[in-house]
Chain A
Amino acid sequence: MGFFFQELVNGLTTGALYALIALGFSMVYGVLKLLNFAHGDLYMVGAYIGFFVIQWFGGASGLHIPVPLLLVIMFVLAAGLVGFLGVAIERFAYRPLRNAPRIAPLITAIGISFFLENAALLLFGAQYRVYNTPDFLSFSSGIRIGSVTIDTVQIMVLAMTVALMVGLRLIINRTMLGRQMRAVASDREAAEMMGINVNFTIAATFFLGSALAGVSGVMAGLLFNQVSNTIGFIAGLKAFTAAVVGGIGSIPGAMLGGLLIGVAESFITGYVSSLYSDLLVFCLLIVVMLVRPTGLLGRPQLRKV
């Protein structure tokens, strides 16, 4: 039984990570109706930023600032820089295509994803960069319940995910910006006529969504310890799956989808084989799409003629 709960905890942590990526992805989809394939690569950039922050302050074993401060700097810097990268991408590549056929921004997004992946390869090289998390955040310390260990990083990831999720929900439901975002998502033209600055709202959404991707990149670095230029694509795919399974455009849906995917993956890896985990996740997605295209918590979309 211990194994079961350990896998569950691991799955929930990974799932929280997927949920965070899925959240940003879902937000962007909400306002722009665009599948941002580059989202996973923003997460990869965030992970690299975290790595370079650690290097900057002396490397994992020789840090010359306290660990909490390091974590704060990592998360803030990754969120800020990746957020601006997201805004730049929107401004440069997606805005000119806002009224183009639906297929055009999709193909652009694929191009950007490919470009970012290879730009990272050019700039940072093909070798895995290692965070060496255990050197400053001990994996063994944490909570032990029976034979189940929840280590510090896992606690941090879960807590931060919940906090970010609540914060985002507050932003979207309680603030002026959130109201504008919802208005743009439901009808861009009408929102514009009501005096909402659509360009600003979309840019802000991109900033928030990309910042979430950056934060989850740092989390992934701390959790999995490894960064390379190819981690973005597969994480992006998992996040799509999470967003779609939960119902794209819905925040609780993204959370639910992420946790489901994480737990399913963890159990498949633990009980069946790690070889089949990706394959089964993809098959799960195809089945969900066919049976319930709107996702678990999504509302069916009315088709306007």
Chain B
Amino acid sequence: MSGEALPPATGPKVAGPQTGTQAAGPQVGVDEWVARRAERREYLPSWLGTAQRSVERVGWWPRLGIAAAAGALLPVLGLSGFQLQVGIDSLVFAALAVGLNIVVGSAGMLDLGYVAFFGFGAYGYALLSSAQIGANGIHLPSLVSIPLVMIGAAILGLLVGLPSRRLSGDYLAIVTLFFGEAFVEFTNNVAPTKFGGANGIAALDPIHVGGYQFLSNASYYYLLVVVLVAVMAAMRLLETSRTGRAWRAIRDDQLAAGSMTIPVDRVKLMAFSFGAIVAALVGTVYAAQQISVFPTDFDTPILILIYASLIFGGAGSIAGAVTGGLVVMIIYDGLLRSPSDSGYLFYGLILIALIAKLRPWRRLVLALAALIALGFAVHALAGAISATWVAGAPQSTGLIADALRNWLVLPASSQTPGKVGFVLLICLLIALVQIKGNARIYLLVPTIYLASFVWETVLSANPSITRQLMIGAILIVMMNARPQGLLGARRVEVPT
């Protein structure tokens, strides 16, 4: 796990059979190459890895404190209303990812009904703090309703976890997925007068503790920071406890864990229950902040978003789950909404990827020069053939638009060429992954050019679709390129 204090990065991380001081050069019985390679794979490349190592030298709890302080200080620096909303959403998904991490990351069970627990928390809070049920409605104080909902979620988690005693892997995934679907169908269709149907439940009470009412977004931001830190701390304590070790044991080898007298069934149910409690807690705060709940807020796309957060950050690591939730949601909810921000993000990411991946520097410079030359050449050629071929304007604004004006060919009506380009781009990307060697670099240049064409024509114009595509792409790419996520530790799999 990423939390443990690591030895200085110079030594091989995998402890070999060697003892005492280590002589220079290869030793008998120690595969240094393997060890070094294993270490390389565990950390991000180049300076990112160095940063990662220095962060890991600080202990887990001080890091949590620093992160919490940073999170709490952020609004003081001045956030706009939109940025505050993005912050709230990010915190919600970070906390959800931490909860999902218990079941998926620690215990290694694929729970595709997780979003239903989130929905259960939200709906539970909504029913207990609104005019929905009865003549005057139920208006419980938050300090009663939230724990009640959490207890309910724990029981529901136990029930949903019950199949995990008999089913494993794919079968469990299906049953939980159907549970999630059934929840959405239930809230959508059953007893619309009570559960609100497709119109949801509106006009919820704000969370109120004592005399204080959480009304503003800023107050919910702070509340969520507190909730997230509390959840992280609780999960850290759980993960380092006997239960946490038991979870990892059944994840790695259920049979072996069982024969080591770990009560497999009970430990699995606990994982489900704890995951459900966290999701429900976050759900109550989410519902109170939104003032309303709708069935679509807890449908499959949200589930996939939580999974993308967890996978991106790294399943199995609390810090990874939180980082994933924050990063994915800030991109998804914040940056991708405005064309100018998303433009900087897109071109910035391409540039960073090129700088990180293309070695040596000569090759990078050559590729960039070829890219620029290609653009101007194509633009001049297209302009010479027909003026309407270059008559379009990029979707991006400001600096990027100025830079692209004479570089990118943008026809006057660009939607259809953009769509064709999108299909072509996917074919090129697949080809790029398949081929090896120098040909890859030659192909890289037109691919990037095509990517910016597609970006300026269709992707940037449809931010709501683009962000969903990004979520799908994150899942595919992360699983293939870096299954341990940004901060997770690579697991050694024992093939069975």
Contact A97 to B479, CB < 8 A, known contacts A118-B469, A282-B185:
yes
Residues of B within 8 A of A299 (CB): none
Q: Which of B171-179, B289-297, B355-363 contacts A (4 or more CB under 8 A)?
A: B171-179
Give the Cβ gap from A10 to chain B, nearest Cβ, in Å: 21
Does B386 sit within 8 A of A, measured CB to CB? no
B178–A286 contact, CB under 8 A?
yes
Segment 92-151 of A: residues with Cβ below 8 Å from B: 92-93, 96-97, 99-108, 110-119, 121-123
Does B32 sit within 8 A of A, measured CB to CB? no
Q: Which of B110, B181, B186, B476 contacts A112 (CB 8 A)?
A: B476
Does B45 sit within 8 A of A, measured CB to CB? no
Q: Is the interface of B mostly helix, strand, loop or mixed?
A: helix
Does B257 sit within 8 A of A, measured CB to CB? no
Does A285 sit within 8 A of B, measured CB to CB? yes
B182–A283 contact, CB under 8 A?
yes
How many Å lie between the Cα of A291 and that of B165 in the bound state?
Answer: 13
How many Å lie between the Cα of A285 and that of B474 in the bound state?
Answer: 30
B182–A99 contact, CB under 8 A?
no
Does A279 sit within 8 A of B, measured CB to CB? yes
Give the Cβ gap from B154 to chain A, nearest Cβ, in Å: 20
A96–B166 contact, CB under 8 A?
no
B186–A279 contact, CB under 8 A?
yes
Q: Which of B104, B108, B175, B476 contacts A115 (CB 8 A)?
A: B476
Specify which of A118, A278, A279 lies most central, judged by the most chain B CB atoms within 10 Å of its CB.
Answer: A118
A279–B185 contact, CB under 8 A?
yes
Does A305 sit within 8 A of B, measured CB to CB? yes
Segment 275-295 of A: residues with Cβ below 8 Å from B: 275-276, 278-279, 282-283, 285-286, 289-290, 293
Does A43 sit within 8 A of B, measured CB to CB? no
B468–A118 contact, CB under 8 A?
yes
Which B residues are closer than 8 A to A by beta carbons? 104, 108, 110, 162-163, 166-167, 169-171, 173-175, 177-179, 181-182, 185-186, 189-190, 255, 300-301, 304, 307-308, 311, 419, 422-423, 426, 430, 433-434, 458-459, 462, 465-466, 468-469, 471-476, 479-480, 483, 491, 493, 495-496
Residues of B within 8 A of A35 (CB): 170, 173-174
Interface string of A64-88 (1 = CB under 8 A from B): 0000000000000000000000001
Contact A100 to B167, CB < 8 A, known contacts A122-B462, A279-B186:
no
A106–B170 contact, CB under 8 A?
yes
Residues of A within 8 A of B307 (CB): 107, 110
Contact A282 to B181, CB < 8 A, known contacts A91-B434, A118-B465, A123-B422:
yes
Residues of A within 8 A of B181 (CB): 237, 278, 282
Residues of A within 8 A of B255 (CB): 305
A96–B174 contact, CB under 8 A?
no
Residues of A within 8 A of B104 (CB): 103
Residues of B within 8 A of A100 (CB): 479, 483, 493
Give the Cβ gap from A92 to chain B, nearest Cβ, in Å: 5
Give the Cβ gap from B293 to chain A, nearest Cβ, in Å: 19
A-B contacts besides A99-B495, A108-B480, 14 pairs, CB < 8 Å: A34-B170, A93-B479, A97-B479, A100-B483, A101-B493, A104-B483, A112-B472, A115-B469, A115-B472, A122-B469, A289-B171, A290-B166, A290-B175, A304-B496
B189–A276 contact, CB under 8 A?
yes
Q: Which of A113, A276, A289 contacts B174 (CB 8 A)?
A: A289
Residues of A within 8 A of B475 (CB): 107-108, 110-111, 114
Does A51 sit within 8 A of B, measured CB to CB? no
A106–B173 contact, CB under 8 A?
yes
B189–A290 contact, CB under 8 A?
no
Contact A106 to B110, CB < 8 A, known contacts A111-B479, A286-B175, A289-B175:
yes
How many Å lie between the Cα of A278 and that of B188 in the bound state?
Answer: 11
A286–B179 contact, CB under 8 A?
yes
A111–B163 contact, CB under 8 A?
no
How many Å lie between the Cα of A290 and that of B160 in the bound state?
Answer: 11
Give the Cβ gap from B329 to chain A, nearest Cβ, in Å: 16
Residues of B within 8 A of A111 (CB): 304, 308, 471-476, 479
How many Å lie between the Cα of A220 and that of B138 in the bound state?
Answer: 46
Give the Cβ gap from B129 to chain A, nearest Cβ, in Å: 26
Determine the residue in chain A with the shortest Cβ distance to B420.
Answer: A123
A114–B468 contact, CB under 8 A?
yes
Chain A interface residue count: which class? Answer: 35 or more
Can you list 16 pairs linking A and B with CB atoms under 8 Å apart? A91-B430, A93-B480, A102-B169, A104-B479, A110-B304, A110-B475, A111-B472, A111-B474, A111-B475, A112-B476, A118-B469, A123-B423, A276-B190, A279-B185, A290-B163, A293-B167
Does A240 sit within 8 A of B, measured CB to CB? yes
Residues of A within 8 A of B465 (CB): 118, 121-122
Top 8 A-B pairs ranked by shortest CB distance?
A111-B475, A115-B472, A114-B472, A279-B185, A118-B468, A275-B189, A111-B476, A108-B479
How many Å lie between the Cα of A286 and that of B177 in the bound state?
Answer: 10
Q: Which of A96, A105, A279 contacts B189 (CB 8 A)?
A: A279
How many Å lie between the Cα of A71 and that of B311 in the bound state?
Answer: 43
Determine the residue in chain A with the shortest Cβ distance to B299.
Answer: A233
Does A16 sit within 8 A of B, measured CB to CB? no
Residues of A within 8 A of B422 (CB): 119, 122-123
Q: Which of A92, A105, A118, A119 contacts B433 (CB 8 A)?
A: A92
A279–B182 contact, CB under 8 A?
yes
Contact A103 to B174, CB < 8 A, known contacts A122-B462, A289-B167:
no
How many Å lie between the Cα of A116 and that of B475 in the bound state?
Answer: 13
Determine the residue in chain B with the shortest Cβ distance to A29.
Answer: B170
Residues of A within 8 A of B466 (CB): 122
Does A244 sit within 8 A of B, measured CB to CB? yes
Give the Cβ gap from A121 to chain B, nearest Cβ, in Å: 5
Segment 14-61 of A: residues with Cβ below 8 Å from B: 29, 33-35
Determine the residue in chain A with the shortest Cβ distance to B177.
Answer: A237
B301–A114 contact, CB under 8 A?
yes
How many Å lie between the Cα of A213 and that of B174 in the bound state?
Answer: 20
How many Å lie between the Cα of A279 and that of B110 in the bound state?
Answer: 22
Residues of A within 8 A of B311 (CB): 107
Interface string of A235-257 (1 = CB under 8 A from B): 00100110010000000000000
Residues of B within 8 A of A289 (CB): 163, 167, 171, 174-175
B171–A293 contact, CB under 8 A?
yes
How many Å lie between the Cα of A92 and that of B433 in the bound state?
Answer: 8
Give the Cβ gap from A295 to chain B, nearest Cβ, in Å: 10
Residues of B within 8 A of A102 (CB): 169-170
How many Å lie between the Cα of A237 and that of B495 in the bound state?
Answer: 29
A237–B178 contact, CB under 8 A?
yes
